[in-house]
Structure 1
Amino acid sequence: MTMPNFLVIGVAKAGTTSLHAYLNQHPQIAMSQIKEPDFFEYGEVDQPPPASSAPYPYAIQTLTTYQALFADLPTTALHGEASPSNFEARACERISRYLPNAKFICILRQPVDRAYSAFAMHTKRGKEPETDFCRAYQDSARRWQKRFEGHLPAYACRNAAWYVERLQDWLARFPRQQLHISLYDDLKDDPVTFVRKVYAFLEVDDSFTPNVSQIYNQGAGIRSTSVNQFVRQNNRVKQWIRPWLPQPLRQKITRWLTNLNQVPLPPLDPSLRNELTRPQHDDILRLQDIVGRDLSNWLAK
């Protein structure tokens, strides 16, 4: 049975895509070609998900298909994958049964900053119905409960209490030495040192220097909502030109328009960040005790 030796378990919008790429550079590590199989949270494993998995059509659904992701990887290398959904309760329980001896890598990011990045990503993809980030964040608890009913994307707008709850679940199921908890701030400030610490945790050569010049899946904003909707959604103009343009050319035009319409993500208003962070003060301190790191820069100023 071919299964991974380790998992990047999240969290979303905290550098997991970059880490997947940096780990894959190491000669003693081989990552799955599909970065996010989402198997343990949305696959059937031994029973259907708690609700329809239709919002996640790309999730690997069967154990056989999941194992095939690792079957052709070098047998001398450690195998891993990086699904942020692995952090969730259903995934954690199933991982504890299927991979009891694996190692797990978690990256945590200041909750409001992470949510803002997720909000911008879903807006850019045309999947965020709310135009105001503050409203989306404050409504995140309800939207999380309704996430299978149309896949409201602001589910990513979670708070520090969620981190605490999820980590307590993981630490109840696994020894602390199997879990490497790190911070997005460290990845952003010194990515080489950050990745080398992960190498050491995985017990591979930590003197290897990864190429971290490219930041993957970086947050971005959009110039024009109209252009973004045109690119993302089906419409009469696209239906009319489709028969006249070959698919490679259509894809090239789509990428060009997407890049042209993309702008750096505007910084989050500090006063709004404080407003949304302040109610999480006690939970951030609880989290600080769990991870053993100073999180004072996460608190409201």
Structure 2
Amino acid sequence: MSKWPNFFIVGSAKSGTTSMYYYLKDHPDIFFSTPKEPSYFSNKFLNYPYSAEDKRSQFFMSYLINNEKEYLKLFESSNCKKAIGEATPNYLYYNESAIEIKKKVPDAKIIILLRNPVERAFSSYMMNVRDLDETESFEEALRLEEYRIKQNYHYAWFYKKTGLYYKQVKKFLDTFGKDKVKIVLFDDICRDKKGTLKDVCEFLEVDASYYDDYDFKMFNVSGRPKVKFINYLLRQKNPIRSAVQKILPYHFRHKTTFHILKMNCKKEDMNSSTRKELQNHFNKDIRDLSSLIKKDLSHWLS
């Protein structure tokens, strides 16, 4: 009998979804799909092929699954695991995905990770810089956003639009009900990883004690590359990367890649005037979101 997942991490991108995926994947009662982001429930909303100017389009499309039989194969080896999930951050952005998930998995549990949209925007930008896909300054990239939207870039280049959470989150709450949706703030993950994971375990109804002595690490850290050639080998299409992909298992390859990227990246700070501009841009949406999810988000406004 075919098995559908019973929970989904739906976003937001650059809010800790990769770290959460690996933390939960290690739990003995939890099964996750490989790849992490099959995008099955959002594929009808993706306007591919993407713009020829978007260098990452083929990379993103390589993991997309649009066939039900292939999608269900991802969960064939879940065996007796209690919680079966996948983690596609674009489901939140393409929030009509909520309806598609509901049709197939009416009792699904939804996990939404949210990060200060100002910080998320800059982190997303720095990820694209890290992967050698963004050559513009942050300020110029923000100015180009509307152009990129019209030119049909992948949503990873929509630094401002992706962070307008209110309507995205509301769609999932309206579709599944508040009891089936778990909101996790990136701030809480950074402050108390163990407590946050235990809370998520209770939501998924699995043993929370697994994380009592767990070694937490952060994955998919953004930054400007110290040595560009290293990041080229790891993140751009090239013969060496293609050969390694055929030899090494998916999860070992990805964990190793994230570790090397972290070592090879240097942090940068956002321009203070740009930060203020983005705070003004997101102000109303943050206030609306705060009211919707009943969480104090005033620290996102300062």
- Normalising to structure 2: TM-score of the pair? 0.81
**Match of residue 277, structure 2, among 251, 270, 275:** 275
Q: Does 1:28 align with 2:29?
A: yes
Query: Secondary structure in 1 aligned to 2:210?
Result: coil
2:121 maps to which residue? 115
In 2, the alpha carbon distance for the partners of 1:173 and 1:58 equals: 26
Deviation (angstroms), 1:224: 5.1
Match of 1:39 in 2: 40
Classify the secondary structure of the residue corresponding to 1:58. Answer: coil
User: Please, which of 93, 98, 104 is the counterpart of residue 104 of structure 2?
Assistant: 98
1:13 Cα deviation from its structure 2 partner:
0.5
- The answer to whether 1:77 aligns with 2:82 is yes
Match of 2:137 among 132, 138, 147: 132
Distance 1:171 1:292, change over 3 A: same
The CA distance in 2 between the partners of 1:231 and 1:182, in whole Å, is 30
**Aligned length in residues:** 278
The equivalent of 1:45 in structure 2 is none
Identity of counterpart residues, as a percentage? 28
SS in 1 for 2:66: coil
Task: Tell whether 2:216 aligns with 1:220.
Answer: no
CA distance in 1, matches of 2:176, 2:155: 31
Q: Equivalences for 1:223-238 in 2 at 5 Å?
A: 223=226
Could you report, residue by residue, the CA deviation over 1:202-253 in whole angstroms, capped at 9, with x for unpaired residues?
111223216243211112221255775687667xxx88xx8xxx955xx99x
Q: Tell me the secondary structure at the aligned position of residue 119 of structure 2.
A: helix
How many Å separate the matches in 1 of 2:235 and 2:78?
A: 34
Q: 1:70 to 1:260 in 2, by over 3 A?
A: closer
Distance 1:231 1:82 in 2: 22
- The residue number in structure 1 matching 2:68 is 63
Question: C-alpha distance in 2, partners of 1:57/1:247?
Answer: 16
Aligned letter for 2:142? Y
SS of 2:63's equivalent? coil
TM value normalised by structure 1? 0.81
**Quick one: which amino acid aligns to residue 35 of structure 1?**
K
2: CA distance, partners of 1:260 / 1:213: 15
Secondary structure at the counterpart of residue 285 of structure 2: helix
Partner of 2:296: 294
Q: For 2:37 and 2:85, how far apart are their aligned partners in 1? A: 11
Whether contact under 8 Å (1:220, 1:264) holds in the other structure is yes
| Compared CA separation, residues 124 and 15, structure 1 to 2 (3 A) | same
8 Å Cα contact 2:122-2:159 kept in structure 1: no
Counterpart amino acid of 1:201? F
Bigger mean CA deviation after superposition, 57-66 or 85-94: 85-94
Give deviations 1:138-190, integer Å, cap 9, x for gaps.
43344234335xx4741244365x20111122122121111001100001111
Deviation at 1:10, TM superposition (A): 0.6
Distance 1:140 1:3, change over 3 A: same
Contact 1:12 1:156 in 2 (8 A): no
Alignment-derived partner of residue 251 in structure 2: none
In structure 1, distance between residues paired with 2:282 and 2:76:
43
Kept after mapping to 1: 8 A contact 2:130/2:265: no
Distance, in Å, in 1 between the alignment partners of 2:47 and 2:165 is: 23
Q: Which amino acid aligns with 1:263?
A: C
Question: Is contact 2:198-2:209 (8 Å) kept?
Answer: yes
Please say if residues 192 and 212 of structure 1, whose CA atoms lie closer than 8 Å, have aligned partners that are also in contact.
Answer: no
User: Structure 1: which 5+ residue stretches go unaligned?
Assistant: 43-47
2:47 maps to what in 1? 51
- Structure 2 unpaired stretches of 5+: 51-56, 249-256
Q: Shift of the alpha carbon at 1:68?
A: 0.7
Paired residue secondary structure (2:97): helix
The alpha-carbon deviation at position 59 of structure 1 amounts to 0.5
Does structure 2 conserve the Cα–Cα contact (< 8 Å) formed by 1:10 and 1:16? yes
> SS of 1:39's equivalent?
coil
- Per-residue deviation, residues 228-283 of structure 1 (Å, max 9, x unmatched): 5687667xxx88xx8xxx955xx99xx7xx75982232132344212221232222
Instruction: Report the RMSD for the aligned CA atoms in angstroms.
Output: 2.9
Tell me the distance in 1 between the aligned counterparts of 2:167 and 2:262: 41
Contact 1:106–1:180 (Cα < 8 Å) also in 2: yes
Report if aligned partners of 1:118, 1:157 keep a CA contact under 8 Å in 2. Answer: no
Change (3 A) 1:138 1:190: farther
